[in-house]
Amino acid sequence: MAVYTEVSTREARALLRQLKLGELTTLQGCARGIENTNYFVSTERDGEVFDYVLTLFERLTFEALPFYLRLMKHLAERGIPVPEPSANARGDLVFELKGKPAAVVTRLRGSSELSPTPAHCAAVGSLLAKMHLAGRDFELVQPHLRGLVWWNETVPLLLPHLNPTQAALLQSELAYQNHIAASSTYAALPRGPIHADLFRDNALFDGAQGQPELTGVFDFYFAGVDSWLFDMAVCLNDWCIDLDTGTHDVERFQSFLRAYSAVRPLESAERALLPALLRGAALRFWISRLWDYYLPRPASLLQPHDPAHFERVLQQRVMHPDVANLLEMQP
Protein backbone atom coordinates (compact mmCIF):
# COMPACT_ATOMS: atom_id res chain seq x y z
CA MET A 1 0.00 0.00 0.00
CA ALA A 2 1.31 3.45 -0.93
CA VAL A 3 0.98 4.95 2.56
CA TYR A 4 4.38 5.94 3.85
CA THR A 5 3.23 8.77 6.11
CA GLU A 6 0.25 8.10 8.37
CA VAL A 7 -2.42 10.82 8.43
CA SER A 8 -5.03 10.84 11.17
CA THR A 9 -8.71 11.59 10.67
CA ARG A 10 -8.28 14.77 12.71
CA GLU A 11 -5.42 16.00 10.48
CA ALA A 12 -7.26 15.24 7.26
CA ARG A 13 -10.46 16.85 8.55
CA ALA A 14 -8.63 20.07 9.39
CA LEU A 15 -7.18 20.37 5.87
CA LEU A 16 -10.51 19.61 4.19
CA ARG A 17 -12.23 22.27 6.29
CA GLN A 18 -9.55 24.78 5.31
CA LEU A 19 -10.34 24.02 1.67
CA LYS A 20 -14.10 24.17 2.31
CA LEU A 21 -14.57 20.72 0.78
CA GLY A 22 -17.12 19.52 3.31
CA GLU A 23 -17.06 17.22 6.31
CA LEU A 24 -14.84 14.16 6.14
CA THR A 25 -16.79 10.88 5.98
CA THR A 26 -14.11 8.36 4.91
CA LEU A 27 -10.31 8.30 4.84
CA GLN A 28 -8.76 5.23 3.24
CA GLY A 29 -5.17 4.58 2.26
CA CYS A 30 -4.90 3.64 -1.40
CA ALA A 31 -2.48 1.32 -3.16
CA ARG A 32 -2.11 3.50 -6.26
CA GLY A 33 1.19 5.31 -6.54
CA ILE A 34 4.78 4.34 -5.95
CA GLU A 35 6.58 7.31 -4.45
CA ASN A 36 3.86 9.27 -2.64
CA THR A 37 1.41 8.69 0.19
CA ASN A 38 -2.15 8.60 -1.14
CA TYR A 39 -5.51 8.52 0.58
CA PHE A 40 -8.97 8.23 -0.92
CA VAL A 41 -11.15 10.80 0.83
CA SER A 42 -14.92 11.28 0.80
CA THR A 43 -16.73 14.32 2.15
CA GLU A 44 -20.32 15.42 2.57
CA ARG A 45 -21.43 18.92 1.67
CA ASP A 46 -25.03 20.17 1.37
CA GLY A 47 -26.30 16.60 1.34
CA GLU A 48 -23.97 15.51 -1.51
CA VAL A 49 -20.96 13.19 -1.39
CA PHE A 50 -17.68 14.22 -3.05
CA ASP A 51 -14.59 12.09 -3.67
CA TYR A 52 -10.99 13.31 -3.56
CA VAL A 53 -7.43 12.07 -3.36
CA LEU A 54 -5.17 13.41 -0.61
CA THR A 55 -1.49 13.12 -1.54
CA LEU A 56 1.57 13.70 0.61
CA PHE A 57 4.63 14.10 -1.60
CA GLU A 58 7.56 12.05 -0.33
CA ARG A 59 10.03 13.28 -2.98
CA LEU A 60 8.86 16.49 -4.64
CA THR A 61 9.49 19.73 -2.77
CA PHE A 62 7.25 22.69 -1.89
CA GLU A 63 9.13 24.71 -4.52
CA ALA A 64 8.70 22.15 -7.32
CA LEU A 65 5.01 21.39 -6.95
CA PRO A 66 3.29 24.62 -8.07
CA PHE A 67 4.15 24.06 -11.75
CA TYR A 68 2.56 20.61 -11.81
CA LEU A 69 -0.51 21.48 -9.74
CA ARG A 70 -1.20 24.75 -11.53
CA LEU A 71 -0.90 22.97 -14.89
CA MET A 72 -3.49 20.42 -13.72
CA LYS A 73 -5.76 23.25 -12.51
CA HIS A 74 -5.32 25.08 -15.83
CA LEU A 75 -6.24 21.99 -17.86
CA ALA A 76 -9.20 21.06 -15.65
CA GLU A 77 -10.64 24.57 -16.00
CA ARG A 78 -10.52 24.11 -19.78
CA GLY A 79 -12.47 20.87 -19.72
CA ILE A 80 -9.60 18.37 -19.83
CA PRO A 81 -10.44 15.41 -17.55
CA VAL A 82 -7.54 15.57 -15.09
CA PRO A 83 -7.53 15.64 -11.27
CA GLU A 84 -8.30 19.23 -10.27
CA PRO A 85 -6.32 20.54 -7.28
CA SER A 86 -8.31 22.28 -4.56
CA ALA A 87 -7.30 25.79 -3.51
CA ASN A 88 -7.73 27.64 -0.24
CA ALA A 89 -9.07 31.20 0.05
CA ARG A 90 -5.67 32.60 -0.98
CA GLY A 91 -5.46 30.41 -4.06
CA ASP A 92 -2.74 28.14 -2.64
CA LEU A 93 -2.63 24.59 -4.00
CA VAL A 94 0.24 23.20 -1.89
CA PHE A 95 -0.16 22.68 1.86
CA GLU A 96 1.91 21.27 4.70
CA LEU A 97 0.80 18.07 6.41
CA LYS A 98 3.04 16.06 8.73
CA GLY A 99 5.93 18.31 7.65
CA LYS A 100 5.51 17.35 3.98
CA PRO A 101 3.93 19.07 0.98
CA ALA A 102 0.38 17.91 0.36
CA ALA A 103 -2.44 18.50 -2.10
CA VAL A 104 -6.07 17.48 -2.47
CA VAL A 105 -7.36 16.75 -5.97
CA THR A 106 -10.65 15.49 -7.37
CA ARG A 107 -10.84 11.72 -7.74
CA LEU A 108 -11.41 10.42 -11.25
CA ARG A 109 -13.67 7.46 -11.87
CA GLY A 110 -12.74 4.40 -13.90
CA SER A 111 -9.81 2.02 -14.06
CA SER A 112 -6.65 1.60 -16.11
CA GLU A 113 -6.69 -0.52 -19.26
CA LEU A 114 -3.43 -2.44 -19.51
CA SER A 115 -4.41 -4.29 -22.71
CA PRO A 116 -5.63 -1.42 -24.88
CA THR A 117 -7.55 -1.82 -28.13
CA PRO A 118 -7.47 0.59 -31.08
CA ALA A 119 -10.49 2.32 -29.51
CA HIS A 120 -8.57 2.99 -26.29
CA CYS A 121 -5.61 4.33 -28.28
CA ALA A 122 -7.86 6.61 -30.31
CA ALA A 123 -9.36 8.04 -27.12
CA VAL A 124 -5.90 8.76 -25.71
CA GLY A 125 -4.70 10.31 -28.97
CA SER A 126 -7.68 12.65 -29.16
CA LEU A 127 -7.37 13.72 -25.52
CA LEU A 128 -3.62 14.29 -25.81
CA ALA A 129 -4.16 16.68 -28.73
CA LYS A 130 -6.84 18.56 -26.78
CA MET A 131 -4.50 18.73 -23.79
CA HIS A 132 -1.71 20.19 -25.91
CA LEU A 133 -4.00 22.87 -27.34
CA ALA A 134 -5.44 23.68 -23.91
CA GLY A 135 -1.94 24.23 -22.51
CA ARG A 136 -0.92 26.85 -25.07
CA ASP A 137 -1.83 29.77 -22.80
CA PHE A 138 -0.40 28.27 -19.59
CA GLU A 139 1.87 30.97 -18.21
CA LEU A 140 4.30 29.04 -16.01
CA VAL A 141 7.40 27.62 -17.67
CA GLN A 142 9.52 24.72 -16.51
CA PRO A 143 11.89 22.69 -18.68
CA HIS A 144 11.20 19.02 -19.18
CA LEU A 145 13.48 17.83 -16.38
CA ARG A 146 13.95 14.35 -17.88
CA GLY A 147 14.82 15.70 -21.32
CA LEU A 148 18.06 15.92 -23.30
CA VAL A 149 20.03 17.84 -20.67
CA TRP A 150 19.34 15.11 -18.13
CA TRP A 151 20.21 12.39 -20.65
CA ASN A 152 23.62 13.96 -21.26
CA GLU A 153 24.28 14.28 -17.54
CA THR A 154 23.14 10.76 -16.67
CA VAL A 155 24.54 8.51 -19.41
CA PRO A 156 28.21 8.85 -18.28
CA LEU A 157 27.17 7.68 -14.81
CA LEU A 158 25.49 4.58 -16.23
CA LEU A 159 28.19 3.38 -18.61
CA PRO A 160 30.30 1.56 -15.96
CA HIS A 161 27.30 -0.66 -15.20
CA LEU A 162 26.65 -1.79 -18.77
CA ASN A 163 28.15 -4.42 -21.03
CA PRO A 164 29.99 -3.21 -24.17
CA THR A 165 27.00 -3.75 -26.47
CA GLN A 166 24.65 -1.81 -24.22
CA ALA A 167 27.18 0.98 -23.71
CA ALA A 168 27.69 1.32 -27.46
CA LEU A 169 23.93 1.53 -28.10
CA LEU A 170 23.44 4.09 -25.34
CA GLN A 171 26.31 6.30 -26.52
CA SER A 172 25.43 6.13 -30.20
CA GLU A 173 21.77 6.92 -29.57
CA LEU A 174 22.63 9.82 -27.29
CA ALA A 175 24.91 11.24 -30.00
CA TYR A 176 22.10 10.85 -32.54
CA GLN A 177 19.61 12.65 -30.30
CA ASN A 178 22.03 15.52 -29.74
CA HIS A 179 22.44 15.78 -33.52
CA ILE A 180 18.66 15.86 -34.02
CA ALA A 181 18.18 18.48 -31.30
CA ALA A 182 20.67 20.79 -33.06
CA SER A 183 18.77 20.71 -36.35
CA SER A 184 16.53 23.43 -37.75
CA THR A 185 13.74 20.89 -38.23
CA TYR A 186 13.78 20.13 -34.52
CA ALA A 187 13.69 23.85 -33.72
CA ALA A 188 10.51 24.13 -35.81
CA LEU A 189 8.58 21.60 -33.71
CA PRO A 190 5.58 23.09 -31.87
CA ARG A 191 6.09 23.12 -28.12
CA GLY A 192 4.25 23.62 -24.87
CA PRO A 193 3.48 21.86 -21.60
CA ILE A 194 3.55 18.08 -21.99
CA HIS A 195 2.57 15.22 -19.70
CA ALA A 196 5.77 13.30 -20.58
CA ASP A 197 4.71 10.07 -18.82
CA LEU A 198 1.29 9.14 -20.21
CA PHE A 199 1.58 5.36 -19.98
CA ARG A 200 -1.28 2.88 -19.83
CA ASP A 201 -1.44 3.00 -16.04
CA ASN A 202 -1.82 6.81 -16.02
CA ALA A 203 -5.21 6.87 -17.76
CA LEU A 204 -8.64 5.72 -16.61
CA PHE A 205 -11.52 4.30 -18.64
CA ASP A 206 -15.14 3.42 -18.04
CA GLY A 207 -17.81 1.84 -20.18
CA ALA A 208 -17.91 -1.19 -22.46
CA GLN A 209 -14.75 -2.63 -24.00
CA GLY A 210 -15.93 -1.81 -27.52
CA GLN A 211 -16.87 1.78 -26.65
CA PRO A 212 -14.52 2.84 -23.88
CA GLU A 213 -14.93 6.24 -22.26
CA LEU A 214 -11.65 7.89 -21.30
CA THR A 215 -12.54 9.39 -17.93
CA GLY A 216 -9.21 11.06 -17.27
CA VAL A 217 -5.43 11.09 -17.12
CA PHE A 218 -3.29 11.74 -14.08
CA ASP A 219 0.26 11.72 -12.63
CA PHE A 220 1.60 14.95 -14.11
CA TYR A 221 4.72 14.97 -11.93
CA PHE A 222 7.16 14.58 -14.84
CA ALA A 223 5.49 17.35 -16.86
CA GLY A 224 7.45 20.19 -18.39
CA VAL A 225 7.76 22.25 -21.54
CA ASP A 226 8.98 20.27 -24.54
CA SER A 227 7.86 19.36 -28.05
CA TRP A 228 4.36 17.98 -28.39
CA LEU A 229 5.81 15.34 -30.70
CA PHE A 230 7.90 13.94 -27.85
CA ASP A 231 4.73 13.56 -25.76
CA MET A 232 3.12 11.68 -28.65
CA ALA A 233 6.17 9.46 -29.02
CA VAL A 234 6.04 8.50 -25.34
CA CYS A 235 2.43 7.39 -25.81
CA LEU A 236 3.08 5.55 -29.07
CA ASN A 237 5.94 3.62 -27.46
CA ASP A 238 3.64 2.32 -24.73
CA TRP A 239 0.04 2.25 -25.91
CA CYS A 240 0.74 1.10 -29.46
CA ILE A 241 3.37 -1.64 -29.18
CA ASP A 242 3.62 -5.32 -28.44
CA LEU A 243 5.06 -5.30 -24.92
CA ASP A 244 6.98 -8.55 -25.35
CA THR A 245 8.91 -7.47 -28.44
CA GLY A 246 8.65 -3.68 -28.58
CA THR A 247 7.34 -3.76 -32.16
CA HIS A 248 4.66 -1.38 -33.43
CA ASP A 249 1.06 -2.54 -33.42
CA VAL A 250 0.01 -1.00 -36.73
CA GLU A 251 -3.73 -0.79 -36.03
CA ARG A 252 -3.31 0.82 -32.61
CA PHE A 253 -0.57 3.15 -33.90
CA GLN A 254 -2.75 4.39 -36.74
CA SER A 255 -5.81 4.73 -34.49
CA PHE A 256 -3.86 6.92 -32.08
CA LEU A 257 -2.40 9.17 -34.78
CA ARG A 258 -5.65 9.43 -36.73
CA ALA A 259 -7.50 10.57 -33.61
CA TYR A 260 -4.75 12.99 -32.57
CA SER A 261 -4.53 14.46 -36.06
CA ALA A 262 -8.28 14.99 -36.25
CA VAL A 263 -7.89 17.49 -33.38
CA ARG A 264 -4.44 18.90 -34.26
CA PRO A 265 -2.96 17.93 -37.64
CA LEU A 266 0.77 17.22 -37.58
CA GLU A 267 3.08 19.80 -39.07
CA SER A 268 5.70 18.86 -41.68
CA ALA A 269 8.55 19.01 -39.14
CA GLU A 270 6.65 16.61 -36.88
CA ARG A 271 6.04 14.13 -39.69
CA ALA A 272 9.74 14.27 -40.57
CA LEU A 273 11.00 13.76 -37.02
CA LEU A 274 8.52 11.23 -35.66
CA PRO A 275 10.94 8.29 -36.18
CA ALA A 276 13.73 10.18 -34.40
CA LEU A 277 11.57 11.12 -31.44
CA LEU A 278 10.21 7.61 -31.12
CA ARG A 279 13.85 6.66 -30.61
CA GLY A 280 14.32 9.57 -28.21
CA ALA A 281 11.32 8.59 -26.10
CA ALA A 282 12.59 5.01 -25.88
CA LEU A 283 16.02 6.29 -24.90
CA ARG A 284 14.58 8.52 -22.17
CA PHE A 285 12.84 5.63 -20.41
CA TRP A 286 15.73 3.23 -20.90
CA ILE A 287 18.01 5.78 -19.20
CA SER A 288 15.59 6.40 -16.34
CA ARG A 289 15.06 2.70 -15.73
CA LEU A 290 18.80 2.08 -15.78
CA TRP A 291 19.20 4.98 -13.34
CA ASP A 292 16.57 3.58 -10.96
CA TYR A 293 18.05 0.09 -11.22
CA TYR A 294 21.76 0.83 -10.79
CA LEU A 295 21.76 4.18 -8.98
CA PRO A 296 18.66 4.30 -6.77
CA ARG A 297 18.22 7.20 -4.41
CA PRO A 298 18.99 6.44 -0.76
CA ALA A 299 15.94 5.00 0.97
CA SER A 300 14.02 5.17 -2.31
CA LEU A 301 10.44 3.93 -2.18
CA LEU A 302 10.58 3.04 -5.85
CA GLN A 303 10.59 -0.59 -6.99
CA PRO A 304 12.62 -0.30 -10.21
CA HIS A 305 11.16 -1.48 -13.50
CA ASP A 306 13.11 -3.82 -15.76
CA PRO A 307 15.40 -1.68 -17.96
CA ALA A 308 15.52 -4.41 -20.61
CA HIS A 309 12.02 -3.52 -21.84
CA PHE A 310 12.99 -0.10 -23.17
CA GLU A 311 16.30 -1.42 -24.42
CA ARG A 312 14.22 -3.70 -26.67
CA VAL A 313 11.95 -0.83 -27.70
CA LEU A 314 14.95 1.33 -28.61
CA GLN A 315 16.50 -1.48 -30.61
CA GLN A 316 13.25 -1.87 -32.55
CA ARG A 317 13.04 1.88 -33.24
CA VAL A 318 16.65 1.92 -34.48
CA MET A 319 16.31 -1.20 -36.64
CA HIS A 320 12.91 -0.22 -38.08
CA PRO A 321 12.87 3.58 -38.31
CA ASP A 322 10.52 3.89 -41.30
CA VAL A 323 6.99 4.76 -40.15
CA ALA A 324 5.87 6.39 -43.40
CA ASN A 325 3.33 3.61 -43.97
CA LEU A 326 1.94 4.28 -40.48
CA LEU A 327 1.32 7.95 -41.32
CA GLU A 328 -1.09 7.22 -44.15
CA MET A 329 -3.98 8.78 -42.25
CA GLN A 330 -2.33 12.20 -42.68
CA PRO A 331 -2.89 14.09 -45.97
**pLDDT value of residue 1:** 43
Comparison of pLDDT for 110 and 325, the residue scoring more: 110
**pLDDT value of residue 77:** 98
Average pLDDT on 41-47 reads 96
CATH superfamily of 118-327: Aminoglycoside phosphotransferase (APH), C-terminal lobe (3.90.1200.10)
Tell me the C-alpha distance between 175 and 279, whole Å. Answer: 12
Cβ-count burial of 75 within 10 angstroms (0-12 exposed, 13-18 middle, 19+ buried)?
buried
Ranges 140-154, 193-207, 226-240, 292-306: which has the least confidence? 292-306
- Which fold, 9-106? Phosphorylase Kinase; domain 1 (3.30.200)
**Cβ-defined contacts of 249-256 (< 8 Å, 24+):** 250/326, 251/118, 252/116, 252/117, 252/118, 252/121, 253/121, 253/323, 253/326, 254/118, 254/326, 254/328, 254/329, 255/118, 255/119, 255/121, 255/122, 255/125, 256/121, 256/122, 256/124, 256/125, 256/232
Model confidence at 227: pLDDT above 80: yes
**pLDDT value of residue 209:** 65
Ranges 66-80, 179-193, 286-300: which has the least confidence? 286-300
Model confidence at 32: pLDDT above 90: no
- Give the other-Cβ count within 10 Å of 247's Cβ: 15
Dihedral angle sign, alpha carbons of residues 81, 196, 260, 312: negative
Q: Could you give the residue range(s) of every CATH 3.90.1200.10 domain in the chain?
A: 118-327
Strand locations in the chain, DSSP E?
A: 23-29, 37-45, 48-56, 95-97, 100-106, 191-194, 203-206, 213-217, 224-227
Task: State the pLDDT confidence band at 299, using cuts at 50, 70 and 90.
Answer: very low
Q: Could you give the residue range(s) of every CATH 3.30.200.20 domain in the chain?
A: 9-106
